[in-house]
Structure 1
């Protein structure tokens, strides 16, 4: 079997852009992958066309060989866009290989160690307790979610006294705990917006009395030693990793004792091939994996197969896709879990290629935040 071509499709899922990648073979088997939308998203098609020159004509079942060749051809570490493109290619190759054998992808990973995948959903837009509770309960009624991720910020973290901000976060968490069923898990994502470790510790202390499921990414990811010191002073589970790119960065984080839970993104780190190595390193450090997944239905399928075969998997982030016409039969939660599809080869879902004929791209970008003194901050 040989690779004969690569196609890209600019699409959207709800209000975010998504780029799908198809790799075709001379056996009539097509594999599918999805890139991470770091931006600029329109840089991906020419980048992917260039990368195709490195593996056109290769046997798509030589996944590790092609993955390694793509990493080596860049000479320097490929960075955000390069790794996202490689991830999409990697996932298309896993899809082809599994379809050629007539099995789900997770069978190629050693088989499933669990029968279904627990998922959680982010609820970030509700400014008031009543609305937040309404959104949480609506998602529970529709999909059975019992785990949710919230934002801890009830006020602008760059305005006013930090102690007041922490107190407001703790008070609000207590109100949510009192209003929601006691068995619900509530995690908090600080979105790497806190500049100083001591402030992250103070916010964690404000949340701790109400038993957060985890406290995610309070700091920027670059300085691993700071994560080790932060973890040593916290009494709540610390989660991070969505902004890390490879096994060596995760190894440095884990050697520093900087996380209880790691959150690699399968579409960021270069795909399933790298994701498996990262999970194995975490397992050796007694750390669980909760994949970062704010993506579309196809990326969710990639994550589901990884999670099915990962022994130290904890929970998967899931973003409800209300408008993705190309995803014919996306994985939808039931009772807060995604079921496996053992009788369906590859990723186990179909792509409507007719729907992809329409370029449904929508522009989206992060806006840098401006502080009261005119300086900038991460959004």
Structure 2
């Protein structure tokens, strides 16, 4: 495990008898420390296989589980899939995207997540600094202006509307997305929140309700006057097919470290393309995950925009780590934005980044778990 930001990152290496090492990253969504023993078990299923036969190996891992794997199983398979693509591309001296039919774009647009800001002026100042340094033209914010359980819903909506109106006036040249983070249980609240944002033309309104009842997303999208995005909590192409069949999203957000890897991500994107739906990958991860996403995005016709996190920084405004150069050190040369885009590296095989194995050999583990909100009646809410 490596540390990046406020949680451990699970980085996977797969070695070959030809001396090639492939690298991948899991989504460590918890329980903490659950993935390493699962990865050890899965490796026993693939030892001795030809790493270039990615479809066969992933299929074998899926079939070995007998029942459809859930969040942990697919996160582990994702990292193995990444490593196999890295090996395959390094074996022929090409970037991964050249094994996917080549790149359809020369650079990949990114947006920066800024999840906490005390006021619109502070958000503007932070976004202005990030725009000046890296060229960002799009950002993602939380739409909540306080504890949504502590006030009447009408006051929550009023605070949001006032804050977003102020932010939009202060920042006319940038696009903003708003992530409701699946905290709402009642769909009518999602409709009222989304339509409060709609007059300000958000880039998208992200995941306001829980993902379990996929069919509820169709009526939700129909009631909204702004683009609805979701998918970070869905796993396989079969779940995304259900979502798209019920007209549940304008934009899908699969996570390449969750769904089973690049192979499955490509299949999900192809299904979405047939529904005229673009893909904006969920990527709150470390710099290795960003490299994997870059190669997917470069070769995906219906790609829209990629979530991006500056290596070694917190996602919360004002809480950047004291030493960002150290905390994201497992990738020595991360992809950094220029004019709001990540540039391809056509002369670099595999994912195009170097892993610092000496860094990974040191113990930087920190315990991490989600903190649940407590409602006024002492019941727990969604985080």
Which TM-score bucket, shorter chain as reference? over 0.9
**Structure 1 residue 234: deviation in Å?**
0.7
What secondary structure is seen at the aligned counterpart in 2 of 1:334? Answer: coil
Match among 110, 117, 135 for residue 126 of structure 1: 117
> Equivalent residue for 1:346?
350
Partners in 2 of 1:70 and 1:228 — Cα distance?
Answer: 33
Match among 242, 245, 256 for residue 235 of structure 2: 245
**Structure 1 residue 125: deviation in Å?**
1.9
> Equivalent residue for 2:290?
300
> Equivalent residue for 2:16?
25
Partners in 1 of 2:128 and 2:35 — Cα distance?
Answer: 38
What pairs up with 1:333-372 in 2 under 5 angstroms? Answer: 333-372=337-376
Quick check: 1:280 aligned with 2:270?
yes
Moved over 3 A (4+): none
**Structure 1 residue 225: deviation in Å?**
1.8
**Structure 1 residue 183: deviation in Å?**
2.5
After superposition, give the CA deviation of every residue in 1:103-146 in whole Å (9 maximum; x if it has no partner).
00001111000000000011112121221111111111121110
The Cα RMSD (Å) is 0.9
> Equivalent residue for 1:5?
none
Partners in 2 of 1:151 and 1:288 — Cα distance?
Answer: 22
Partners in 2 of 1:205 and 1:44 — Cα distance?
Answer: 39
**Structure 1 residue 15: deviation in Å?**
2.2
Quick check: 1:255 aligned with 2:245?
yes
Partners in 2 of 1:195 and 1:23 — Cα distance?
Answer: 41
> Equivalent residue for 1:329?
333
Partners in 1 of 2:142 and 2:337 — Cα distance?
Answer: 22
> Equivalent residue for 2:138?
147
Partners in 2 of 1:136 and 1:127 — Cα distance?
Answer: 13
Partners in 1 of 2:177 and 2:292 — Cα distance?
Answer: 23
What secondary structure is seen at the aligned counterpart in 1 of 2:33? Answer: helix
Match among 212, 218, 231 for residue 221 of structure 2: 231
Quick check: 1:190 aligned with 2:180?
yes
What pairs up with 1:191-206 in 2 under 5 angstroms? Answer: 191-206=181-196
Quick check: 1:219 aligned with 2:209?
yes
TM-score between both structures, scaled by the size of structure 1:
0.96
What secondary structure is seen at the aligned counterpart in 2 of 1:41? Answer: coil
> Equivalent residue for 1:6?
none
What secondary structure is seen at the aligned counterpart in 2 of 1:21? Answer: strand
Partners in 1 of 2:203 and 2:14 — Cα distance?
Answer: 39
**Structure 1 residue 370: deviation in Å?**
1.2
Give unmatched runs, 5+ long, in structure 2: 313-326
What pairs up with 1:68-79 in 2 under 5 angstroms? Answer: 68-79=59-70
> Equivalent residue for 1:44?
35
Match among 293, 308, 312 for residue 302 of structure 2: 312
TM-score between both structures, scaled by the size of structure 2:
0.95
Give unmatched runs, 5+ long, in structure 1: 1-9
Length, aligned pairs only: 369
> Equivalent residue for 2:381?
377
Greater mean alpha carbon deviation, residues 93-102 or residues 123-132: 123-132
**Structure 1 residue 41: deviation in Å?**
3.3
Aligned partners of 2:32 and 2:369 also within 8 Å: no
Partners in 2 of 1:370 and 1:83 — Cα distance?
Answer: 30
**Structure 1 residue 43: deviation in Å?**
2.0
After superposition, give the CA deviation of every residue in 1:194-222 in whole Å (9 maximum; x if it has no partner).
11111111111111111111000000011
Partners in 2 of 1:47 and 1:124 — Cα distance?
Answer: 32
Match among 135, 150, 157 for residue 126 of structure 2: 135
After superposition, give the CA deviation of every residue in 1:3-34 in whole Å (9 maximum; x if it has no partner).
xxxxxxx1111322101110000100000001
